Structure 1
Amino acid sequence: MDEYYSWPDNGVKGGGARAQAAWPAMCEALPVGTQVTGEVVGRQPFGVFLRIAGVPDAIGLAEITAMPHGAQLPQLGTHVSGEVFGHAHHNHQVRISLSGRRPAGT
């Protein structure tokens, strides 16, 4: 599967710094329990990356473990909904559960 993504500036130098600078505001705008919608912008064997509606600098990650049992990874361009269940501060990602259930161990 090589449906990789580049965020948030489609590979333009400085995109990581932009996400890092926006991180405190993203955490405030998207606290745990927030319902979100977004577009799948990248796929990996472990999950999908999302562009979260209304929060342009947010990097959403829905891991396969945060999807309903037996679910397939959504295709690129698919619009999905879910719930914020955490924040990965080390890589500035908003963790999303597409099933609406918090994954075990979180």
Structure 2
Amino acid sequence: MMLSYQNTHEVLQAATNGENYIDLIAQINKDLKLSNLDCEFEDSISPAALKNDLCELVFHCINQKFADYLNLLYIVDVSEDQIKALDGSDLVALTENVVFLILKREYEKIWYKKRNT
């Protein structure tokens, strides 16, 4: 079964409903650390705040630390084809789409780990 979410809300809702939300935060924190980004989310962060904070982080990286942004995408393992397919003309919309791809990939990682243990 392939996970096919259409937006950030669906990914976060699936993680919350499946009791995988704390694992999702842990996976995000792990990959942020591997990406050398000085950011860590508390287990108690709400899904809305997580999305907003990730959007701020990604927006900042695109504008100020592009190499870190590319490194994050590599560490998270977001498909290069998916990134290239995004419309970059609106930076805010681009950021939200990238955050969706990051959250979707991070959730896939924990979903597959739990399924195979």
- TM-score of the alignment, normalized to the shorter chain, above 0.5: no
- TM-score of the superposition, structure 2-length normalised? 0.27
- Greater share of helix residues, 1 or 2? 2
Structure number with greater CO (CA < 8 Å, separation at least 6) is 2
- TM-score of the superposition, structure 1-length normalised? 0.29
Bigger CA radius of gyration: 2
